[in-house]
Structures are given as C-alpha cells and as structure tokens.
Amino acid sequence: MNSLAGRVVRDVSEMRRISNALVLIVLLAASAGMMLTAPYAGDFSWSDAPRHALNGAFIMDLVRDHPFGHAAAWAMDYYIRYPSLTILFYPPFFYVIEAVCYAIFGVSHAIAQLSVTLFIFLLGVGAYGFSRQWLPRSAALGVALMMIGAPEVAYWGRQVMLDIPAYALGLIAMVWVCAYLRHDSPQHLYLAAAFLLAAIYTKYNAAFLVVPVAAAGLAARGWRILIDRHVLIAIAAGCVASAPAMFMIYKFGSANVGSVAGRPGDLARDSLGAWLFYAKLMPHQLGSATVALAAIGVILGLGRRLRAGLEPWMGVMLIAWFATGYVFFSAISVREPRHDLMALFPVVLLAAFTVSTLAGRGPLGQAAILLLGAGTYFYSLFWYPPPVVAGYREIAQYVADQAPHGGVVMFSGYRDGNFNFDMREHAERRDLTLLRADKELLKIAVERIRGVEQVDLQEAGIEQMLKDNGVAMIVAQQNFWPDLREMARFADVLRSSDFRLVSSFPVTGELGVNDGPDAGGAGRVDVFVPTYPVEPPKGPVVIDLPIIGHKVTGQVGKAP
C-alpha cells in the first residue's frame, strides 16, 4: 500500500514537472515569436529606442575600459563621440542586462531587442505565477498569453524600450509579495524588495507599486506588520538602496519634472479628458474582449457573484494596484499609451476571473481563457506590428567604409539616435567621432515642442565651426527643420562650393514630419565631404545638455 502511494505521489510530481516545463516552453515560444516579428536591423522607429540600445553599449565599454581614475573625462569623451546617450536621464538596470548581452554576443540592434525579449518572457512567467494561485494551469497560461500578447504590450515589447522590462520586474515583485503574505517567509519578502528595486532602477515610475504592496500588507497583517523585524529591515534597505535613484532624479531629472508639468498642447491635468484618457485607451491597450470581460467582472463583483476565491488582502492589493496606477499616470501631464501598462495587470486577471465565473473552473472555462489568451497574442503578433524606419544602417555602412581614419563625422537630422547606434555596431570604426549639428546650432530640452533656442551664426560662422571641429564628412537629412534659421543656414552652407555631394540614401517606413518626407512620403539623407583640406580639430567641444541641466566638455577625435 505504501509502495502504491509512493508511486502515485511520484507520478503526480512528475506530471507537475512536465506540465510546468510545457508552460515554460510555450512562453519561450511566444517570446521568440515577438523577437522574430520585431525590428532588429537598425530600423528603430521610436526616437528613444536607439538611445536605450546605445546606453547598454556605454555600460559595456565602461566596464571594458575601466577608466576609474578618470571616469568623468572618459564619459564626456564618450558622449562627444556618440552624442545620443541618455545614460543619466534613465536609471541603469536594463542597461546592465543589455551590456551583459552585448559582451556575450556583440553590439547590435538584434541583441538589444533580445535583451527586451528576455523580459517579455519574464513578464509571461510573472503573469502565470501570479494567476496560478487561483486558476488552473491552462487558465493561468491563458492569462500569461493575454498579458504578453496585449496589443500595447506586444507593440512596445518589440522595441528597445524600458516599459516592458520594468513591468516584468514589477510583476515578479508582486508575486513574491503574495508568497510572503501567504507563507510569512522572510526570503520571499527580500526577493520582493529586490525585484521592486530592480523595477524602479529600470523605470522610475515603477515606484507606484509601493502603494499596493503597503495596502496588501496592512490588509493582511494589520498595523503590527510595521513592527515586524524583517519588514523593517526590508524598508530600511529599500530606502538606502533607493537613495542613488533619488539623487539621479534630483541631479539629472529636470526632463522628468517637465513630463509631470506637461508640454504645450497636453491635456490640462484638471480636465475631464485628462482623467478619462487612459480609460478610453484600455480597449486599444489590452484588446476589446479583455476589457469587456473585465467590465462584466466589475458588475459581477458588485453583485457578489464573481467567483475569484481571492483572500481579502489580495482584493485590496489588486484594487490599490489599478487605482493607484491610474491616478499616478493620469496625474502626469505627458500621457502616452505605454505609460500606464504597469497598472493594467489587474484588468487582465479580472477578465480571466469573469470567464471562470461564467464558464466554470472546469475544462470549458480553462479552454475559454486559454483561447482568449492565444487569440489576443496572435492578433497582436500578426496584425499589430511595430513601425520601422529603414535606411540608416546602410548610411552607417557607407560612412564606415568611406570616412578617413580618425575622422570627424557630423550628423544633421532628426534620427541621430539611429545613426549613432548603427555606427556603434561598427566596432572596427570606433576611431570615428560623431558630432551633431543640432547640438552645435540649437539648444533643445528633450524635444522641440518644449522650446528651442538658436545660436546666431552666419554661414561663414557655421563653416568655421565645421573647420575648427575638423569635420571630414557630413551626413545631412533633407528638409530637417528648415523653418529654423540656423538649420536653414546650415543647409545653405552644404550647398556652397565648399562641399561636395558624394552619395544619397532613401529613408523609408513610418516617417513623421520631423523626418522631412517629400510629397511621396519618402525621406532622403545626403552625404557631403568638404572640398577644402581638412585640418585636425582645434580645441575641445562644449555641448549644452538641457535634458540633465549640465554641459559636457570633450575632445573631438580623442578615443574614449
């Protein structure tokens, strides 16, 4: 009898291991599908994406060169060489992971996207682990597919952005919070704190998750949780570990403050439209079916007919999670569809609970949730692709082939991030220095809509600036802000007899007004070289960076 019971236990355990392995395989395959349908050929569309990719290369190069005796000078020279970095504006955790991937596989757009894909998988694992506490395995897998396959999640997960990595880390933190409150295990508490800190050090706004964590703890244990030794240790450690993040926000986060205050044209914070902005977006973000089911779940919950089996404290956590996130992101005046994604997991879970209530927890209900998740995933995979802007990798290849050794190349255009990262892919041409014409002629805080100041150089002054910097090649987008006096003068200089057009490249894809598309919607980038003898650079370059409220001084042509 004991032998039979032992075999049954072993068989059940083996079945669980096989089932868990199958779940991981499905989530890996789903993540791979996202990777394979993402842009990864230097064709970034969102302007921040190549900057996030370049920041990881900065971390890798910093560790490789270990210039710890002169780190500040090294960093300034690096920025002068690749002037699209935003390393101080954003927290560093994702870039460290990205740097590890670069160190193993090399610097490329594909590896940057692979770094994000790892977090898509982690997001799926987190969604599965969280929902598995109340739902059967196949239904929990459906929730995971609903989460990573949600249209807006799939859209931003297939670009090198910070939103999905921060979301994944935050969700895993919440899984560990649940484990701690259920089992009173200190190790789970410390894991939750570590993952929450990692989420905050990936994207600062993940800090809003502290509120639902605190609400759940108080609901589960009452005020006595505040005198728990392990809780006090976790809070103290979290405060100490958060201090560098607070310093970075204070020192370099003026643009983040600007995002809270808003830009010209943003909805006023006290308007009804501002507070309904994300509510109206939810069907687009998660899929109409998911949101409709969640709405039905709210009605069922109000009538006490929703069968979720949640502990009271878990209900408090989910409500606080959504409500705090909604208020937090609505209060930030710069509103975009990706900003509130971290607040939306409770909506997905509620949709699953609704299906389980209406169809039952048996095979029919499980199949319905799994089908909903699979349908959501495949819709986003095939019918909601991320945009691309192609052409800059080819331009970078030309420059890598043609620019003189140790030469200075100036870029004039909207997509400096694309060009800078695509040039960084050419490890063999790290002898080149890349300058930006807009950094020399304009002063812009984050984006043009927030205001722009112009220097007052005549054409002769612009040409002298190019000579003083030893510029040997100029890559110039056609129709780049021709309404600005200085950029119009710069274009006139390139059309003079002192410069010669040597090549032109088409730029295609989802172009915006800043790309200067022609009547047919296509863009063009030209490459010029001086007709006069190029001399070595004269003196350092000083670049004003309003985004962090500081200036960078570095030497042109000096390898970092």
Contact assessment for residue 414 and residue 514, using Cβ atoms and an 8 Å cutoff: yes
524-557 residues labelled b (16+ CB within 10 A) or e (exposed): bbbbbbbeeebeebeeebebebbbbeeebebbbb
SS3 189: helix
Contact assessment for residue 138 and residue 367, using Cβ atoms and an 8 Å cutoff: yes
User: Model's pTM, two decimal places?
Assistant: 0.93
Nearest to 279 by CA among 208, 347, 333: 347
The reported pLDDT for the residue numbered 513 is 92
List the domain boundaries for the chain: 2-36+88-383, 389-555
Nearest to 481 by CA among 457, 449, 513: 513
Contact assessment for residue 384 and residue 285, using Cβ atoms and an 8 Å cutoff: no
Please state, in angstroms and rounded to a whole number, the distance separating the CA atoms of residues 317 and 178: 9
Contact assessment for residue 468 and residue 516, using Cβ atoms and an 8 Å cutoff: no
| Residues paired with 442 in a beta bridge | 454
Kindly give the confidence (pLDDT) of every residue in the chain, 560 residues in length, as a single tens digit, with 9 standing for 90 and above: 556 555 544 545 656 777 889 999 999 999 999 999 999 999 999 999 999 999 999 999 999 998 888 888 888 889 888 999 988 889 999 999 999 999 999 999 999 999 999 999 999 999 999 999 999 999 999 999 999 999 999 999 999 999 999 999 999 999 999 999 999 999 999 999 999 999 999 999 999 999 999 999 999 999 999 999 999 999 999 999 999 888 888 777 655 555 555 556 678 888 999 999 999 999 999 999 999 999 999 999 999 899 888 999 999 999 999 999 999 999 988 889 999 999 999 999 999 999 999 998 899 999 999 999 999 999 999 999 999 999 999 999 999 999 999 999 999 999 999 999 999 999 999 999 999 999 899 887 667 777 788 888 899 999 999 999 999 999 999 999 999 999 999 999 999 999 999 999 999 999 999 999 988 888 999 999 999 999 988 877 777 666 666 677 777 765 55
| Number of residues written out for the chain | 560
- Dig out the tokens for 59 from the structure: 């971390």
The reported pLDDT for the residue numbered 8 is 47
* Contacts for 13 with CB less than 8 Å, ≥ 6 apart: none
